[in-house]
Chain A
Amino acid sequence: MSWTKEEMAQRVAELFPKNVSVNLGIGLPSMVASFIKEEDGIMIHSENGVLGVSGKPKEEEVSPTLINAGKQTITIKAGASFFDSALSFGMIRGGHIDYCVLGAMEVDAEGNLANWMIPGKKVTGMGGAMDLVNGAKNVVIMMSHFTKTGEAKLLKKTNLPLTGMKCVHEIITELGHFRPNGESFDIIKLAPEVTEKDCALPN
């Protein structure tokens, strides 16, 4: 039985030691915020210019000028700070952010990541992802195991335009927790009743 999105988010949150800084990407990774415990002292960074992101606002707390990188309304916790985009990316590029969690189109056995365009079909742009994979100390991918049309996203070699080379450290999908090892992927943990065969990992 695969993990739910919430269980995936829980798995990702369990990777973080106490008192680290974490950048959460847009989409699925933003769900991780709900599984980070207040007492763990983790500071969530959002690249649009805030360190110390907290949970969702109550209706009366909503502020149009207080959003995360996914353009969702947020709140901040005590000790939070605001800054401009250059300082925000200085935190990332300067190596001051401990973990980043990103979505992906494909990841390959060498740890190469593709998540910003499919030539001729889809272009979202890289946003902050290229900076994050070069600057964050640990790069965690949180994604669905297969594409909507059923193709594997964990590959021997990706042919999509890269976001970064040899940059991925951990991968959490609904089927399990994996690490690229150069040839294929090490299985760290599988979801209940999931077999290695279900994961369609490259040989």
Chain B
Amino acid sequence: MSKVYKNATEATQDIHDKATLMSGGFGLCGIPENSIEAIAKLPIKNLTVISNNIGNSGRGLVALLKEKMIAKAICSYVGGNPDLEEQMLAKSVEVELVPQGTFSERIRAAGMGVRAFYTPTGYGTLVAEGKETKNFDVPCILESALHADFAIIKAQKGDRYGNLWFKETARNFSPLMAMAAKTTIVEVEELVELGDIPAEDIHLPGLFVQRIYQGVHYKNDIEFRVTQ
């Protein structure tokens, strides 16, 4: 069966109530713009969304927050996202804040078949509450793998097997999330022929990708344009 889908609407239509959804991107850098826009139009709710920032500056995944589709958010940083901070303090969205390295590693662990791991990050803080601890060279806490039903990610280039190439710092969490989800939906700026991305330069092998489509109308927003 071909992995190539026509567009975002076709690729995301089976995302359902109570699904766990991972979304790539650091702030607004590398976010799957087309998939987010399509999901915001679906009649679904009670999603658990796993993403570093859950959108920022009123954009990106904030569209899902505004539609009240998110019941729980798992993320590392909410500074710069007043919509989430507001819903968090009002307790209309449950927020699990995870240290960013633990967040990345929990997602990586899911993709790698690692069920849990010990880390010193968060020891002696609120993050350690209710978690098993164990002393190695230093005291550590036990953190578990983070899986998802769907991952939505964006790459600069991809081919019909789902082999991907990311541009500059737009890679961030995306390849990890692709490995941790049952169904990974990729949008690309350039859908290229097999072989166009040299095999040595493939950042994520297509094995981890179930759906891929050519995205359209990218905004590629810049949060802070700092120049000389």
Contact = CB atoms under 8 A, between A and B. Distances in A.
A82 B75 contact: no
Majority secondary structure of chain A interface residues (helix, strand, loop or mixed)? loop
A82 B85 CA distance: 30
Interface in B70-109: 75-80, 85, 88-89, 97, 99-105, 107-108
A44 B30 CA distance: 21
B174 to A, nearest CB: 7
B121 A73 contact: no
Given A125-B97, A135-B121, A71 B27 contact: yes
Contacts of B100: 47, 85, 89, 126-128, 131
- Among B100, B222, B223, find the residue whose CB has the most chain A CB atoms closer than 10 A: B100
Interface stretch (B14-22, B124-132, B192-200): B124-132
Contacts of A63: 168
25 contacts: A49-B172, A56-B227, A56-B228, A57-B228, A62-B225, A67-B29, A67-B223, A69-B26, A71-B29, A74-B226, A84-B104, A84-B175, A93-B101, A93-B119, A124-B79, A125-B77, A126-B77, A128-B76, A128-B99, A128-B101, A130-B99, A130-B121, A130-B122, A162-B126, A165-B123
B220 interface: yes
Given A49-B169, A62-B227, A127-B99, 6 more contacts: A73-B226, A82-B169, A84-B174, A92-B101, A128-B100, A135-B101
B123 A82 contact: no
Interface in B175-204: 175-176, 203
B124 A162 contact: yes
Contacts of A126: 76-77, 97, 99-100, 127
A71 B56 contact: yes
A72 B29 contact: no
A83 B119 CA distance: 21
Interface string A113-139: 000100000011111111100110000
A42 to B, nearest CB: 19
